[in-house]
Amino acid sequence: MRRGRISAVVSARSPAPTGAGGGLLPARDLAAAWFLVVLIAVPAWALTTSQAGDMGVEPGTMGLALPLFLLLWVTMMAAMMLPSMAPVAITWVRGIGRRSSGWTRTVRTVEFVGGYLLVWAVFGLLVYAALALTGGLLDDHADAGRWIGAVAFLLAGLYQLGPLKYVCLRHCRDPMGHLVRYAGFRQPARDLRVGVHHGAYCVGCCAGLMVVLIPLGVMNVAAMAALAVVIFVEKLWSRGPALGRVVGVAFLVLAVLAPFQDWLLPGLRGSMPAMDDM
């Protein structure tokens, strides 16, 4: 009964997040969400851009130890992902539990975001392993980069067109039903757990897009910015799922072209012989 009452309260008080097919958040709360995004995402982009300028676009792990790579990866994910999930974060903080003061609400939002980024840090372990594997293959077989790139684009395209992508995308576009269920979560660390759960769906939604950073370059700022725009539009535009399918088809086309067009593989090109040399 208690959980039912909580759900009823949340249902009555919580509007759907921006771009998810429901009403807009109140202007004051929406402004608070975007202010938090500016505080986190803008410095994250600045740091990422600075590091990319210093390191350049190279294959493999770029000589980074795992802890430093994860720090850089989480910073990148904060820059790329927070704009698209800010409305969900503010809806969660506004829609559950007791009324909070400004600072308490901010702390809860930070806890939610921390859980969200924790999932991306775990995903970063898989990315690091994939980069280490590709780097090792390129060290042993310099011309393997073309086929690594083709496989990466192929996997990304198939994932973009597959069912798991759209199960997760539906959650990210319209999470209100899940937010109602989250209201029944108990302490401790309820907001952290919600962030982890929502982050897992976002990883499932965006995993295919992240795969293309292997051929394009993990520190390729232009590629990161383009992917961030795709992620934002997929989640918040009414035709976002259609865009996701178009992007998937584009990746499949790139998979066909990659073995013959070195310029499509800036993240692998440094160790490959030029086509003219083959």
When pLDDT is averaged across residues 191-201 and rounded to a whole number, the result is 88
pTM: 0.79
User: How far is 225 from 242, CA to CA, in rounded Å?
Assistant: 20
Q: Is the pLDDT of residue 55 over 60?
A: yes
Note the pLDDT tens digit of each residue in 208-267.
Answer: 999 999 999 888 888 999 999 999 999 888 898 999 999 999 999 999 999 988 888 888
For residue 97, name the pLDDT band (cuts at 50, 70, 90).
Answer: very low
Query: So what's the pLDDT on residue 25?
Result: 52
- All structural domains of the chain with their residue ranges: 2-277
Note the pLDDT tens digit of each residue in 112-141.
Answer: 888 988 999 999 999 999 999 998 888 888
Is-contact 39 18, C-beta < 8 A? no
